[in-house]
Amino acid sequence: KQVLQFVQFPCLVIEVLLPSTEAYDRGAKFAHYRNLESLQEFALVSPENICIDLFRLNERGRWELSAHTENSFVQLTSIDFSCPIELFYKDVDFLS
């Protein structure tokens, strides 16, 4: 039995990118998410290498991008969480 979960007022959305949907995720989907009043952060996680693009809504109501790569520390302020980026990729085997 599949259980679907829906969060009505998310403060954080994390998307794992796929080559076939990356343009949509970065464009139209992010535009849709920006209309959610509760959203504070939007993260795009690359499955091909260690890279997370984190968009955060600043105090002026503008979205700021911070790109995280190897040896970075990722801070998700919306949920008071931080860790080395490598933990997001624990047990991930990248294809050569």
Cα 52 from Cα 47, distance rounded (Å):
9
Predicted local distance difference test score (pLDDT) of residue 84: 98
Q: Domain residue spans in the chain?
A: 12-89
In our burial notation (b when 16+ CB lie closer than 10 A, e otherwise), range 48-57 reads eebbbbbbbb
* Residue 5: pLDDT over 80: no
pTM: 0.88
Please state which of the four CATH numbers 3.30.479.30, 3.40.1160.10, 3.30.750.210, 3.90.1570.10 is assigned to the domain occupying 12-89.
Answer: 3.90.1570.10
93 pLDDT band (50/70/90 cuts)?
A: confident
pLDDT value at position 43?
98
Encode pLDDT of 7-64 as tens digits: 789 999 999 999 999 999 999 999 999 999 999 999 999 999 999 999 999 999 999 9
